[in-house]
Structure 1
Amino acid sequence: MYISNEGILVILFVGLIAGWLAGKIVRGTGFGIIGDILVGIAGALVASYLFPKLGIRLGTGLVSEIVYSAIGAILLLVVVRLIRGGGRF
């Protein structure tokens, strides 16, 4: 599999925006640029695994990928917060 330089930039951009959105929604603040990218990419992985199994389809394009990744990142952050916080949301 080959990913072009533009593809890597799109992945990082989507990860940054999705991680920032998830950080604002779940935690109230962002995690810094690197943390936002990592949370967004991890959220995209969670969403790409979970949503097809549930039959959820959001559409195509960059905006839907950002929404898709942000929802996955929010789910990831909620689970991490429940585990680390002793069950508190």
Structure 2
Amino acid sequence: MHVSNEGILVILFVGLIAGWLAGKIVRGTGFGLIGDIVIGVLGALVASFLFPRLGIHLGTGLVSEIVSSALGAIILLLVVRLVRTGGRL
């Protein structure tokens, strides 16, 4: 698999926006630039794994990728919060 430089920039951009958006929705303080990118990219992985199995398709394009990545990041942040607080949101 070969990813071009532009592809890496798009992945990082989508990850940053999705991580920031998820942090704002879950009312987190954010994790900084690198942390938001990591949360967003991991959220994209969660969304790409979970959504097709649930039959959820949000469309195509950059905006739908940001939305699905943000939803995956929100799920990820909620799971992390559940683990950290012992089951309390």
Q: Normalising by structure 2, what TM-score? A: 0.97
CA distance in 2, matches of 1:84, 1:22: 17
1:71 aligns with 2:71: yes
Spell out, residue by residue over 1:33-79, the C-alpha distance to the aligned partner (whole angstroms, 9 max, x if none): 00000000000000000000001000000000000000000000001
Pairwise CA distance, 1:6:
0.2
Alpha-carbon distance in structure 2 between the residues aligned to 1:28 and 1:44: 18
Task: String of CA shifts for 1:8-31, please: whole Å, max 9, x gaps.
Answer: 000000000000001111133221
**RMSD in angstroms over aligned alpha carbons?**
0.7
Give me the identity figure in percent. Answer: 81
Does the alignment pair 1:54 with 2:54?
Answer: yes
TM-score (norm 1): 0.97
1:5-84 alignment runs, 5 A limit:
5-84=5-84
Residue-pair matches, total: 89
Q: Give, in whole Å, the separation in 2 of the partners of 1:86 and 1:47.
A: 24
Quote the Cα distance in structure 1 between the aligned partners of 2:7 and 2:85: 36
Where has structure 1 moved over 6 Å in runs of 4 or more?
Answer: none
Instruction: Measure, in 1, the Cα distance between the counterparts of 2:87 and 2:51.
Output: 24
User: What stretches of structure 2 of length at least 5 have no aligned partner?
Assistant: none
